[in-house]
Amino acid sequence: MNAWRVCALGLLAIGAVALLAGAVLALPLLAAAAIVFLVAGLALVGYMLSRQMRHVIGQQERSLEALARAEAALQGMAALRQSSGRLETAVSRLAGIEGALAGRIQDVVRSAAAARAEDSAARRVDQRDISRQLADLQGLVAEHGELLGAQGLDVQTSLRVGRNVLRISKEIAEHQPVESRLRRNLEKAVNDASGGVTRSVEALMQLHALPGAGLSPLLGGWAMEPVAVHALLDVISQWSGPRVVELGSGTSTVWIARMLKSMGAGRVDSLDHEWQYAEATRRALEREGLQAWAQVHHAPIVDVEVADEVYPWYSLADAALPETIDVLIVDGPPAALGERARFPALPALAGRLRQGSVLVIDDAGRPDEAEIIGCWRDLACVQLAEPVSLGPRTVALTVLSNAPD
């Protein structure tokens, strides 16, 4: 800005001097040049003034904007103060309500405690009275018993006293506090659950003690429970070179193959209708080098007719199963394929079973599987023993005799 001002003053000074010299010396060209300098100086001054005015106007506009923002902030603060006042009023009201509720809750708690104390005292009194009556009546029973043996008194009297004793015993049970009954039921449930967990942990520890038992697919869920797998391996170990057929491959296939490898004899053939599951089991076997002890067959689901009824079951066309089966494990097809989808297992493979063969079925606690077991035991071609539990949801049935059609 200072440079522009110096330039404008210089132009004006030169123009004034030139104009004065032109007038004194009577030189028109010099006078014209002086006018040009003067006009240029004035134009520069005008430009400088316009720039200064724009700067001033801009400052005023910014000041006005700042004032507007300040005014809005003041209005916001005023609204905030109003909201704060309303909030304080609401908080004070809530505090009053909270105090009132706390007082009512304390009254209710005190009333409940007093009522409970009165009820407990009444129960104790009732129980003491009933206990005394029971002791008196038990003495009467003993007295009547002695009299009955020694003097042959009325039998009906003794029976009536005995009935009174039973009635009062029932009254004592009814007067027993609910809390103690709930506590016993809860303790029983916890003991049952902890016992199941303990058995599962013990079974897993023993399973992993098998030779070559490293990182394994997880048990439980859709797979067999650890307790059931442990019991199943114990059944298989009773055979010399057992021939095992499994309907539905998976984790149990790997454990059975490990067991057979540790025994040094035997083989498990597993069927699976899902190609991807069959491949997953094959890969699990290959990772542990168990191909010599297990083979997984892809057996798609087809319609199979048994006793004039059609069931969705495995196709055995491409499954090279052993002629004799020592242990048959029924863990498929899944129930979602239809009612009693696992029923054809025994009719279809009865000719390969022999006396002493063991039939194992998983998910035996479901209504469908329970009905299937009943139907199997009604078959004329195979006589089965009573089911024996191998785990929470797995049972085994031994073939007592076999006369397949």
Whole-angstrom Cα distance, residue 279 to residue 250? 10
Confidence class for position 324, pLDDT limits 50, 70, 90: very high
Could you give the number of structural domains in the chain?
Answer: 2
Q: Which of 113, 141, 176 is the last residue of a domain?
A: 176
Confidence class for position 374, pLDDT limits 50, 70, 90: very high
Question: What is residue 307's predicted lDDT score, i.e. its pLDDT?
Answer: 86
Confidence class for position 63, pLDDT limits 50, 70, 90: confident
Question: What is residue 196's predicted lDDT score, i.e. its pLDDT?
Answer: 47
142 with 228, same domain: the answer is no
- Rounded to the nearest angstrom, the gap between the alpha carbon of residue 163 and the centroid of all alpha carbons in its chain is 53
Answer whether residue 200 is part of any domain. Answer: no
226 with 325, same domain: the answer is yes
Alpha-helical (H) ranges within 305-366 are 345-349
Q: Which of 122, 155, 176 is the last residue of a domain?
A: 176
Answer whether residue 198 is part of any domain. Answer: no
- pLDDT greater at residue 192 or residue 390: 390
- pLDDT greater at residue 363 or residue 121: 363
Answer whether residue 254 is part of any domain. Answer: yes
Q: Mean pLDDT over all residues of the chain? A: 75
69 with 172, same domain: the answer is yes
Instruction: Tell me what the mean pLDDT of segment 210-224 comes to.
Output: 52
Token pair of 291 as six digits: 């191909």
- pLDDT greater at residue 222 or residue 324: 324
CB 171 within 8 A of CB 130: yes
Question: What is residue 42's predicted lDDT score, i.e. its pLDDT?
Answer: 73
Confidence class for position 285, pLDDT limits 50, 70, 90: very high
Instruction: Write the pLDDT tens digit of every residue in 14-48.
Output: 767 766 776 667 667 766 776 776 777 677 677 77
Confidence class for position 100, pLDDT limits 50, 70, 90: low
Judge whether residue 114 has pLDDT over 70: no
Judge whether residue 398 has pLDDT over 50: yes
**pTM of the predicted model as reported, rounded to 2 decimal places:** 0.51
Whole-angstrom Cα distance, residue 239 to residue 67? 98
Question: What is residue 210's predicted lDDT score, i.e. its pLDDT?
Answer: 54
Answer whether residue 184 is part of any domain. Answer: no
Judge whether residue 227 has pLDDT over 70: yes
Question: What is residue 75's predicted lDDT score, i.e. its pLDDT?
Answer: 75
Of 360, 152, 336, 154, nearest in space to 246 by CA: 360
Answer whether residue 183 is part of any domain. Answer: no
User: For residue 363, what is the domain's CATH number?
Assistant: 3.40.50.150
252 with 161, same domain: the answer is no
CB 284 within 8 A of CB 276: no
Q: Which of 153, 176, 199 is the last residue of a domain?
A: 176
Whole-angstrom Cα distance, residue 269 to residue 40? 110
Answer whether residue 4 is part of any domain. Answer: yes
Whole-angstrom Cα distance, residue 9 to residue 23? 21
